[in-house]
């Protein structure tokens, strides 16, 4: 499943960086009115791959214990950045524009270089801690609603690109506050190459990507590129990077073909879910019979075409890769969204099993079990959803489904509590507190549920959120 966390109303299509700028510049009241942060994309397949790209890098950078997550931002332009020392943000556009695992891994290694080098200190000093948290909350889609891809379908990815109008004062702040200094860039390059070399990887992908930005900058419009704005790329920096990268014994090392295929599959999936249909079929013409093209075709058919044809195409994919959890996940998602939750259960069980219990897939299975409206499934749904939200604590979808499952069981105390938790994660503090207050009246005073509900009632809203 590729979930788009869709904002409730017309969100200005800002880059994440622009949001940070707006937050630094605007009074909190104005921030509250912006309400919904830029949507974040959640997808088990993509996140798993990005974890595999980053884990070795973080390990050699000495950051493995910090549980740093990669968060995918719903923006089609190229961007990647770190903002809080806990997360690396990457636009889906950066994934689409990285043709090899090595290219995006190089960018992630460079960003890790900023993290390891403590380059965020300047940002931290200048942004109040509270505001930083607000940025993160917005980036993570607090205030956003989880929805299936179909419902967000009219909001095609590429049409979202770069529509933000950036006012002059914000522009000044962006340049001065969020841009890395040249010395930091060079240090991050050096650190990135070191991490790549230490993990037996080439820095050619990093060099190729950054070189492309200097080449692009020969043309007008490079000022609009968020990545180039925050990571200045003068030609001499890129030349120094090239020299360094070429000195590595791994310069010519190619990505493992199996990993390249998974990367291609991820890009095909993102394209099919996020890009306009004509763009998808231009990238992956019907004459292209490769596995990634067939993946893109199956998803595009499920989103825009005949459901039965989509299922047949997905079955064809399963025949080719019977151990690929994401094909079963797609089959389950297509059936669930096609109003066939009972039929969705078996493929989703298989997807959960093959993915080693990926929480996002468990949430989809829980959703299918709940959607059957069959009480025989309720206890199982609750068990699966509880396991999922214990490991994936920031996804409101899991708590929302859990609330429905408890509702089916007639356990209204737990249902209220789970609804309150979902509302809290969506950034709807008032609803969260109302529901938590009601939950408290239904739990025995001092019981674990009562304590959790009390925590929500007492929780401070994120800065800028309405607290009335
Ligand atoms: Zn940089």
Question: Which tens digit of pLDDT belongs to each residue from 95-108?
Answer: 999 999 999 999 99
Residue 449 Cα to ligand 1 midpoint, Å, equals 45
pLDDT at 463: 52
Give 146's strand partners: 5
Residue 84 Cα to ligand 1 midpoint, Å, equals 15
Three-state SS for 310?
helix
Residue 128 Cα to ligand 1 midpoint, Å, equals 22
Residue 424 Cα to ligand 1 midpoint, Å, equals 34
Three-state SS for 397?
helix
Residue 232 Cα to ligand 1 midpoint, Å, equals 7
Residue 183 Cα to ligand 1 midpoint, Å, equals 10
Asked if residues 39 and 139 have their Cβ atoms less than 8 Å apart, the reply is no
Q: How many CB atoms lie within 10 A of CB 178?
A: 21
Residue 180 Cα to ligand 1 midpoint, Å, equals 6
pLDDT at 37: 37
Three-state SS for 355?
coil
Task: Return the axis-axis angle of helices 291-304 and 257-274, rounded to nearest 10°.
Answer: 20
Residue 182 Cα to ligand 1 midpoint, Å, equals 9
Per-residue tokens: 14: 């800002």
Question: Among the residues of 284-411, which ranges form H helices?
Answer: 291-304, 307-320, 325-337, 341-354, 359-371, 378-391, 396-409
Residue 120 Cα to ligand 1 midpoint, Å, equals 11
Contacts of residue 25, Cβ cutoff 8 Å, sequence gap at least 6: 169, 170, 173
The residue behind tokens 């991050």 is: 188
Three-state SS for 296?
helix
Contacts of residue 158, Cβ cutoff 8 Å, sequence gap at least 6: 76, 274, 275, 276, 279
Determine the Cα–Cα distance for residues 286 and 281; give it in Å rounded to an integer. Answer: 7
Residue 365 Cα to ligand 1 midpoint, Å, equals 40
Question: Among the residues of 26-100, which ranges form H helices?
Answer: 28-34, 44-60, 92-97
Residue 185 Cα to ligand 1 midpoint, Å, equals 5
Residue 186 Cα to ligand 1 midpoint, Å, equals 8
Going by C-alpha positions, the residue among 74, 100, 41 that lies closest to residue 264 is 100
Q: Check residue 450 and report its DSSP letter.
A: H
pLDDT at 307: 93
Three-state SS for 145?
strand
Per-residue tokens: 248: 């590595």
Asked if residues 391 and 362 have their Cβ atoms less than 8 Å apart, the reply is no
Beta-strand pair 40-43/87-91: unpaired
Determine the Cα–Cα distance for residues 215 and 286; give it in Å rounded to an integer. Answer: 32
Residue 210 Cα to ligand 1 midpoint, Å, equals 10
Beta-strand pair 40-43/69-73: antiparallel
Residue 194 Cα to ligand 1 midpoint, Å, equals 15
Residue 108 Cα to ligand 1 midpoint, Å, equals 10
In 133-274, where do the E strands start and end?
A: 144-147
Asked if residues 333 and 352 have their Cβ atoms less than 8 Å apart, the reply is no
Residue 170 Cα to ligand 1 midpoint, Å, equals 20
Contacts of residue 433, Cβ cutoff 8 Å, sequence gap at least 6: 420, 456, 457, 459
Determine the Cα–Cα distance for residues 283 and 421; give it in Å rounded to an integer. Answer: 41
Give 239's strand partners: none
DSSP annotation string for 212-253: HHHHHTTSTTGGG-HHHHHS---HHHHHHHHHHHHTSTTTTP
- Dihedral sign, Cα of residue 12, residue 17, residue 19, residue 24: negative
Residue 230 Cα to ligand 1 midpoint, Å, equals 7
Per-residue tokens: 178: 């969020």
The segments of the chain whose pLDDT lies below 50 read 4-38, 128, 130, 141-177, 220, 464, 466-468
Residue 129 Cα to ligand 1 midpoint, Å, equals 22
Q: Dihedral angle at the C-alpha atoms of 382, 383, 384, 386, nearest 10 degrees?
A: 80
Contacts of residue 58, Cβ cutoff 8 Å, sequence gap at least 6: 64, 66, 68, 112
Determine the Cα–Cα distance for residues 5 and 45; give it in Å rounded to an integer. Answer: 16
The residue behind tokens 């609330």 is: 403
Determine the Cα–Cα distance for residues 74 and 159; give it in Å rounded to an integer. Answer: 12
pLDDT at 17: 31
Asked if residues 94 and 107 have their Cβ atoms less than 8 Å apart, the reply is yes
Contacts of residue 416, Cβ cutoff 8 Å, sequence gap at least 6: 403, 435, 436, 438, 439, 442, 453
pLDDT at 377: 97
Residue 359 Cα to ligand 1 midpoint, Å, equals 32
Residue 157 Cα to ligand 1 midpoint, Å, equals 25
Question: Among the residues of 86-181, which ranges form H helices?
Answer: 92-97, 101-116, 121-126, 129-139, 168-173
Q: Check residue 172 and report its DSSP letter.
A: H
């Amino acid at each position: 499943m590729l979930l788009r966390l869709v904002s409730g109303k017309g969100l200005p299509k800002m880059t994440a960086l622009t949001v940070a700028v707006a937050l630094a510049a605007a009074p909190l009241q104005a921030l509250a009115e912006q309400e919904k942060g830029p949507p974040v994309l959640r997808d088990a397949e993509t996140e798993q791959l990005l974890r595999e790209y980053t884990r070795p890098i973080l390990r050699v950078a000495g950051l493995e214990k910090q549980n740093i997550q990669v968060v995918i931002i719903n923006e089609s332009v190229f961007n990647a950045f770190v903002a809080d020392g806990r997360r690396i943000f990457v636009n889906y556009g950066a994934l689409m524009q990285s043709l090899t695992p090595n290219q995006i891994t190089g960018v992630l290694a460079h960003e890790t270089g900023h993290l390891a080098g403590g380059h965020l200190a300047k940002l931290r000093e200048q942004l109040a801690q509270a505001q930083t948290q607000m940025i993160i909350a917005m980036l993570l889609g607090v205030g956003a609603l989880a929805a299936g891809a179909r419902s967000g379908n009219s909001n095609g990815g590429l049409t979202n690109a770069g529509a933000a109008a950036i006012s002059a004062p914000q522009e000044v702040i962006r340049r001065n506050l969020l841009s890395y200094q040249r010395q930091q860039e060079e240090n991050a390059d050096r650190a990135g190459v070191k991490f790549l070399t230490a993990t037996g990887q080439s820095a050619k992908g990093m060099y190729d990507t950054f070189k492309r930005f200097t080449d692009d900058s020969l043309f007008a419009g490079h000022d609009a590129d968020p990545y180039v704005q925050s990571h200045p790329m003068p030609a001499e920096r890129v030349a120094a990077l090239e020299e360094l990268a070429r000195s590595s014994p791994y310069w010519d090392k190619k990505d493992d073909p199996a990993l390249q295929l998974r990367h291609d599959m991820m890009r095909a999936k993102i394209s099919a879910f996020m890009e306009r249909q004509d763009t998808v079929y231009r990238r992956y013409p019907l004459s292209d019979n490769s596995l990634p093209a067939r993946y893109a075709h199956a998803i595009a058919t499920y989103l825009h075409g005949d459901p039965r044809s989509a299922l047949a195409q997905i079955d064809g994919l399963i025949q080719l890769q019977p151990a690929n959890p994401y094909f079963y996940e797609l089959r389950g998602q297509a059936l669930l969204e096609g109003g066939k939750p009972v039929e969705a259960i078996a493929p989703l069980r298989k997807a959960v099993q093959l993915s080693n219990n990926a929480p996002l897939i468990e949430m989809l299975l829980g959703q299918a079990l709940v959607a059957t409206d069959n009480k025989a499934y309720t206890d199982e749904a609750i068990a699966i959803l509880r396991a999922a939200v214990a490991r994936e604590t920031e996804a409101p979808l899991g708590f929302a489904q859990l609330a429905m499952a408890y509702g089916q069981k007639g356990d209204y105390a737990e249902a209220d509590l789970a609804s309150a938790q979902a509302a809290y994660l969506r950034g709807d503090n008032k609803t969260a507190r109302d529901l938590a207050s009601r939950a408290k009246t239904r739990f025995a005073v001092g019981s674990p549920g009562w304590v959790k509900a009390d925590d929500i009632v007492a929780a401070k809203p994120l800065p800028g959120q309405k607290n009335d």
